[in-house]
């Protein structure tokens, strides 16, 4: 079985670096960072590669930088899986309450890899409830998706409640901490908060107003969908406020929206 020292040597040779070149590079890095602990001299690197000596955290950092590797991958060669830290968090209780934040060390993120096959693109949905399986993907730049304050929604292709402000087929980011409906005068339709609502009929995305326990779901004035009044929270519940939108502006170019019903002439 290949040990960590052999892996270090194989990586160095793969990059075409000599031991002296690694030493020189570490000296430059130490000068840049103002930390002599980052220096790896020739004899010490030889010990790492051939004698099973474990590098200090500073020298592991130097090797990661010089070899263009992720620090967590280099540490894993010595039997420590940083990703596993999240899974064993809390394995031993501490005597005092404390705050734990491991997001800064994440190298992988969970994203949906299987969606409920019953997902209907024509209906507005809460995407979080349609995800059947998550998978780990090493995409550090997607860390924000793991924020537990948010859920994600989808406006069905036949849902014209907020048309044309929000196009059918749009994806929504919903802040679940903002469930209180704001009241006030809005200078424009862009300032008025939009909410994601769950009722017995399903999900909808709209403006809202609340008077007593009467929740009015208010569509856009140009929408063909009529306003609805439901009892809150028994018939309709506010999931949260829409704080982000991903919208395809070219959607619906060849699709005709349903027309408003005209009153019969008497």
Considering the domain boundaries, does residue 260 fall inside one?
no
Here the CATH number for the domain that contains residue 188 is 2.10.109.10
The verdict on 199 and 131 lying in the same domain is yes
Considering the domain boundaries, does residue 56 fall inside one?
yes
Domain that holds residue 14: 4-82
Question: What is the rounded average pLDDT of the residues 7-26?
Answer: 94
pLDDT of 262: 43
Is it the case that residue 96 has pLDDT exceeding 60? Answer: no
The verdict on 45 and 129 lying in the same domain is no
Number of domains present in the structure of the chain: 2
Higher-pLDDT residue of 92 and 156 is: 156
The verdict on 77 and 157 lying in the same domain is no
Question: What is the rounded average pLDDT of the residues 150-171?
Answer: 90
Considering the domain boundaries, does residue 111 fall inside one?
no
Higher-pLDDT residue of 132 and 186 is: 186
What does the alpha-carbon distance between residue 77 and residue 71 come to, in Å, rounded to a whole number? 10
pLDDT of 11: 93
Considering the domain boundaries, does residue 66 fall inside one?
yes
Q: Buried (b) or exposed (e) across 202-211, using 16+ Cβ within 10 A?
A: ebbbbbbeee
Helices (H), 42-100: 42-50, 57-67, 71-76
The verdict on 138 and 234 lying in the same domain is yes
Q: In terms of C-beta density within 10 A (0-12 exposed, 13-18 middle, 19 or more buried), how is residue 95 classed?
A: exposed
Whether 48 contacts 55, CB under 8 Å: yes
Considering the domain boundaries, does residue 95 fall inside one?
no
Is it the case that residue 87 has pLDDT exceeding 70? Answer: no
Here the CATH number for the domain that contains residue 18 is 1.10.260.40
pLDDT of 186: 87
The verdict on 46 and 147 lying in the same domain is no
Considering the domain boundaries, does residue 178 fall inside one?
yes
pLDDT digits (tens, 9 = 90+) for 97-121: 444 444 445 555 555 656 677 777 7
Lowest mean pLDDT among 56-60, 77-81, 201-205: 77-81
Query: Which pTM was predicted?
Result: 0.50
Whether 166 contacts 156, CB under 8 Å: no
Is it the case that residue 222 has pLDDT exceeding 60? Answer: yes
């Amino acid at each position: 079985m290949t040990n960590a020292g052999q892996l270090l040597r194989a990586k160095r040779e793969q990059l075409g670096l000599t031991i002296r070149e690694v030493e020189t590079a570490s000296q430059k890095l130490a000068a840049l960072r103002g930390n002599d602990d980052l220096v790896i001299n020739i004899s010490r690197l030889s010990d790492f590669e051939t004698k099973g000596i474990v590098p200090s955290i500073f020298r592991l950092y130097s090797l990661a930088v010089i070899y263009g590797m992720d620090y967590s991958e280099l540490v894993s060669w010595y039997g420590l899986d940083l990703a596993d830290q999240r899974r064993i968090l809390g394995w031993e209780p501490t005597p005092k309450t404390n705050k734990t934040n491991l997001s800064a060390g994440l190298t992988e993120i969970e994203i949906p890899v299987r969606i409920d096959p019953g997902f209907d693109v024509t209906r507005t949905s809460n995407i979080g409830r349609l995800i059947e399986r998550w998978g780990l993907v090493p995409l550090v730049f997607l860390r924000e998706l793991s924020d537990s304050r948010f859920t994600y929604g989808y406006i069905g292709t036949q849902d014209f409640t907020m048309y044309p402000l929000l196009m059918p087929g749009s994806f929504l980011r919903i802040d679940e901490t903002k469930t209180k409906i704001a009241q006030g005068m809005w200078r424009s339709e862009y300032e008025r908060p939009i909410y994601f609502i769950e009722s017995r009929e399903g999900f909808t995305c709209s403006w809202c107003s609340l008077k007593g326990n009467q929740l009015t779901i208010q569509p856009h004035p140009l929408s063909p969908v009529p306003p609805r009044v439901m009892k809150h929270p028994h018939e309709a519940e506010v999931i949260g406020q829409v704080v982000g939108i991903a919208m395809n502006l070219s959607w619906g170019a060849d699709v005709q929206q349903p027309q408003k019903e005209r009153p019969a002439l008497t």
